[in-house]
Structure 1
Amino acid sequence: MDEAVRRLVDAANRNDIEAFLAGFTADGVVDDWGREFHGAEGIRHWSDREFIGKQVSLRVDAVRERGEETAVTATVGGNGFNGPSTFTFRVDGGLVSRMTIRA
C-alpha cells in the first residue's frame, strides 16, 4: 500500500483528525458517493459529521494499485455507516490529493 494512503488509513483508525487532514494536499478532495468536500475546512466538516466524528474504523480487506491510484476495500465500522466500501486514493507528492468512496 502506498505510504501516503497508509498514513491516512492509520490516522482514520486512530480517529486523529489532525493527522488525517495533514495527509491531504492543500487542495485535496473527498468524494463521498458524489458529494465533494474540498480543502482542509471542507474535509474536516465532512469528517466531523460522517467519518472520524463517528469514531470510524477501517478494516482493510484488499488493496489494488493501478497506475496512480490505490483502491482499498475495507469493512467500515463505528457509529456511522457500517459495511463494505471501496476507498480510491490519488497521491501527489507524497500526500493524498483525492479520496473517493464507493461501494
Structure 2
Amino acid sequence: MTAPQPIRRFVEAPNAADSEAFLQIFTADALLTDWGRSFRGREEIARWNQSDNIGVQSHLDIVRIAQSDGAYHVRIKVAGSGFNSEGDMTFTLDGDRIASLVIS
C-alpha cells in the first residue's frame, strides 16, 4: 500500500529539517499522543517537534503501512539524536492533513 500524501509529508518534512512544512501537515486542532504524552494543536505539536523530532535531527523511513477502521497503521524506522528504533504510529486523516497521531 502506498502511503497517503499527509503521511508521506510527515516523513519527508523531518528528513528535510523543515519544521514549517511539518507543522502544516496537521489540522489546527490536531492531537498527537506520544507514549501517553498528549499535544493538542500546532503550538503544542511544535514543542514536541522541537524536543522529540526535528529538534533531535530525526530521520524517518516507512517500514510498512496498513489501513483499517478509517486509520492508517504505520511502522516507522527512526534514527537521529533522540529515539533510534522502529515504532508504531496510528494516523487519522482529515482531508490532506493529520487530525490525530498516536505513537506507541
What TM-score does the superposition give when structure 2 sets the normalisation length?
0.92
Indicate yes or no: 2:17 matched with 1:15: yes
Return the match for 1:36 from 38, 43, 51. Answer: 38
Mind listing any 5+ residue stretches in structure 2 that lack a counterpart?
none
Correspondences of 1:23-102 after superposition (within 5 Å): 23-102=25-104
Please give the per-residue CA displacement for 1:14-64, whole angstroms capped at 9, x wherever unaligned.
121100100000101110001100111100011101111001011211111
Instruction: Report how far residue 93 of structure 1 moved.
Output: 2.1
Please identify, of 28-37 and 66-75, the stretch whose mean Cα deviation from structure 2 is larger: 66-75
| Matched AA of 1:36 | S
Give the structure-1-normalised TM-score: 0.93
Q: Secondary structure of 1:58's partner?
A: strand
Structure 1, gaps ≥5 residues long: none
How many matched pairs? Answer: 102
Residue identity (%): 37
- Alpha-carbon distance between aligned partners in 2 of 1:14 and 1:87, rounded to the nearest angstrom: 20
**Alignment-mate amino acid for residue 16 of structure 2:** R
SS of structure 1 residue aligned to 2:6: helix
* Aligned-partner residue type, residue 42 of structure 1: E
